[in-house]
Amino acid sequence: MKHLATYAIGLLFGLGISLSGMANPAKVLNFFDLAGTWDPSLAFVMGGALIVAFLGFRTVLARPAPAFAPAFQLPTRRDLDARLIGGAAIFGIGWGIAGFCPGGALPALGTGRVEIFAFVAAAALGIVLARRGPALIGRRATA
């Protein structure tokens, strides 16, 4: 049942991303082009996502436990460190250059375009390096 629910949620997410235009890099790049061909429609997509997330978290966290797990796994750290800020900056720069974020790129893999596969491969490599890179160079990785 857990796998069926995961599949349904992923399918709904991918459909929403595709229908909203978030899987179209030209539309995303136009959103960031404030001085040129600015397209504000993605602000409404993001605002809608924030509303859904806010209501969803309030509803779900009111329960004693998740439906398919024994307990919630929520972050305990609340500080902003260089790693978090640097990662957010790299994410934003990459999104602005490529026109994709990972959430928009995964449904776009279905188009078969080579540049999307390259983006997803680079994102996956970045995740691996972020998790294992500090340990590989002799520092302790923190997750």
DSSP structure class, residue 71: S
Residue 103 and residue 97 in contact, taking contact as beta carbons nearer than 8 Å: no
Instruction: Dig out the tokens for 31 from the structure.
Output: 């959103």
Cα 123 to chain centroid distance, Å, stands at 11
Q: What is the pLDDT along the chain (143 residues), one digit of tens a residue?
A: 889 999 998 899 889 888 888 888 888 889 888 898 898 988 998 899 999 999 999 999 999 999 888 999 998 989 999 888 988 998 888 888 888 888 888 888 888 999 999 999 998 998 888 888 766 665 555 55
Residue 55 and residue 35 in contact, taking contact as beta carbons nearer than 8 Å: no
Global pTM reads: 0.69
| E strands in the chain | none
Rg of the chain over Cα atoms, rounded to whole angstroms, equals 18
